[in-house]
Amino acid sequence: MTSSKVPALRSQIERFPIAGSFTISRGAKTEAVTVVAEVSRDGLTGRGECVPYPRYGETPEATLAAIQAMEDAVRGGLDREALQAAMKPGAARNALDCAFIDLEAKQAGLRAWSLLGRPSPGERTTAFTISLGAPETMAAAAAKAAHRPLLKIKLGGEGDAARIAAVRKAAPESELIVDANEAWAEANLEANLAACAAAGVTLVEQPLPAGRDHALARIKRPLAVCADESVHDRGSLAPLRDRYDAVNIKLDKTGGLTEALAMADAAQALGFEIMIGCMVATSLSMAPATLVTPQARFVDLDGPLLLAHDRNHGLRYDGSLVYPPESSLWG
């Protein structure tokens, strides 16, 4: 019989329908597919959720298998510090890292931020995403969301100037940030940046493909540009300093909250502004990310707002305000 003092690892794929569909330059989807890891010991269980991302060659099945491959190591006493070297950064390590933190917090009787020596996250305004579509479709969606103070607009290349102009007209008071998801080219970069500047956009995320973004260092950028697909963990920060003004930290890229917090510290030291971002997922994915919000200029944790339903004990959203998690959810 396995002793309750010996850690146990369980994991599974879970699916949550999206309200309508979610469209970016790489395509549309109608459900969020997540992988959940649970680490248990002494009657306590810590949970973590990740979203495998095909852009980085991840699938739910391979991510689940990567987590399951760690079962013997977890039973043998693998801890969160050793996990950082035992697994490569990515979605699978994120789920395990966050599960370890949740378990550690429960064992210590502390909230996760106190356990990690971080400031308590307060309520923050999160961006609300407008999916890619025709200008009139995006304008209609923006008009419905025009009461929200911060909108994130998905763009996709050809016709983006018309899209952002239409959105601005429909939501004249909202702060706008734009995410091109690598869809622009060097040939239209300056024209698209100028169109965004003319619409009063505050920030443009990942306009050029990762690895082909050197043009950003050669032009005068009329507004702040943020790296997403070009940046993953601390090791990828320094080479981007001449190209980007901000970095989007996502736990599924960093491989967990442990690296995300270290990356936020390193990014600030290099002079980057910080966005804390997310994939479309449940509140269990968002909860650990709230610990990065005290360092973030931009908060983009609207994943649960895009779902048809969230999991039980989800984060509290009051309009565009998102609040720290209750311990019944995580941490």
CATH 3.40.50.300, domain 124-322, yes or no: no
**Exposed / middle / buried, residue 8 (Cβ in 10 Å: 0-12, 13-18, 19+):** middle
Does residue 294 sit in helix, strand or coil? helix
41-94 residue pLDDT tens: 999 999 999 999 999 999 999 999 999 999 999 999 999 999 999 999 999 999
Model confidence band, residue 5 (pLDDT cutoffs 50, 70, 90): confident
In tens, the pLDDT along 244-260 reads 999 999 999 999 999 99
Q: Is the dihedral of CA 250, 325, 303, 35 positive or negative?
A: positive
Let me know if 123 is exposed, middle or buried by CB neighbors in 10 A (0-12, 13-18, 19+): middle
Vertex 302 angle, CA 231 and 140, to 5°? 110
Looking at the annotation, which residues are catalytic?
154, 250
Q: Where are the domains of the chain?
A: 8-111, 124-322
6 falls in which pLDDT band (50, 70, 90)?
confident
- DSSP output for 180-220: -TT---HHHHHHHHHHHHHTT--EEE--S-TT--GGGGTS-
Q: How far is CA 78 from the centre of its chain?
A: 26
- Which pLDDT score, from 0 to 100, does residue 4 have? 63
Edge-to-edge strand list for the sheet holding 44-50: 8-24, 27-41, 44-50
Mean pLDDT of the chain: 95
pLDDT digits (tens, 9 = 90+) for 275-329: 999 999 999 999 999 999 999 999 999 999 999 999 999 999 999 999 999 999 9
Domain spanning 8-111, CATH architecture = 2-Layer Sandwich (3.30)
pLDDT at 331 over 50: yes
- Using pLDDT thresholds of 50, 70 and 90, give the confidence band for residue 177: very high
Q: Can you give the pLDDT at residue 144?
A: 97
Residue 165's H or E segment, with its range, is helix 160-170
Q: Going by C-beta distance under 8 Å and a sequence separation of 6 or more, which residues neighbour residue 220?
A: none
Amino acid letter, 76: G
Per-residue pLDDT, averaged over 148-161, amounts to 95
